[in-house]
Amino acid sequence: MESDLLPSSAPKLSSLRWKILRRAISSRGKSDADGSITCEEKSFDKVSRRTRNGFRLIPCDLMSDDGESSVFHVNQDVCFCYNLPLPNAPKLLLRQRLDARATLGDFEVSNQFNIDSTGLVCLWPSEEVLAYYSLTHPEKFRGKKVIELGSGYGLAGLVIAMAGEASEVVISDGNPRVVDYIQSSIEANSASFGNTKVKSMVLHWNLHDTLDAMGNFDIIVASDCTFFKEFHESLVLTIRTLLTKNGSSEAILFSPRRGDSLDKFLVEATDAGLRFTVTEIYDAEIWRQHQRFCKGDTSWPNYEPGHCYPLLISITF
């Protein structure tokens, strides 16, 4: 019940959700004159499960204009430097927005292409998990042709390009504004890809002719792409069309259950003739972090396993 979550004097959850949306398209947040967070701002944590810290699997720093580590940046677009936990690994530069607020232009693009703007909001925890998993399982990508679907800022695709020794990596998203950030990151890291061919692209899952013309991929990766049920059918079509039809090909997805959304997606995949496995414990460090949050670690407020912990889904023919 809403009355169990918030004090009687606080706004109801439905009202807070609309205020979160309003804040997302406003130029400034709602703070007191001295810069402190208002009571209403604190109430947002009761609604949203998004976190800035995530599972904290790959250390990163915010870079300043002179290329040095910084804790502050005044521009909307910033560069994060990720220190991959591998011997002699190059630094990975990821360009994204510092401020999670969307603009009216973002919503115009979303309406034009019938897509969402979640890739511009933040680097989602499932993407971080996919990136970390890719680091610890490089053998899955070695010599393979790989595509990341719905990549957002594309951390996982960049990690695979830098550390997976893949033959080719395509980092795709349906939002052209997101893809602009991906391309900027590709250019910033181009010297670290070795012999791997890397490119970005705008990819809409419902465009059959485009999918047919792309050829097949050995490995498809995606994170938190099963949330919107209206995209399930087109996502399954995309996986089925792009996945190489042989025994070694695989789509690797990381996604929380999010109510019945993941289950409904898997039904759609089964109906399309695809097979799947779901693994809950796939990495000791990620599981340790998950258990810590379940026990009430306050660095991830309102952590709820069904909405926050990504399961590993493997899809094959």
Asked if pLDDT for residue 39 goes beyond 60, the answer is no
The model's pLDDT over 257-304, given as tens digits with 9 standing for 90+, comes to 999 999 999 999 999 999 999 999 999 999 999 999 999 999 998 999
User: Is 0.85 surpassed by the pTM of this model?
Assistant: no
The model's pLDDT over 147-198, given as tens digits with 9 standing for 90+, comes to 999 999 999 999 999 999 999 999 999 999 999 999 999 999 999 999 999 9
Compute the Cα dihedral for 241, 246, 196, 98 and give only its sign.
positive
| Residues 6 or more apart whose Cβ sits within 8 Å of residue 154 | 94, 148, 171, 173, 181, 182, 185, 200
| Residues 6 or more apart whose Cβ sits within 8 Å of residue 184 | 95
Of the chain, the percentage scoring pLDDT greater than 90 comes to 67
Res. 50 pLDDT band, cuts 50 70 90: low
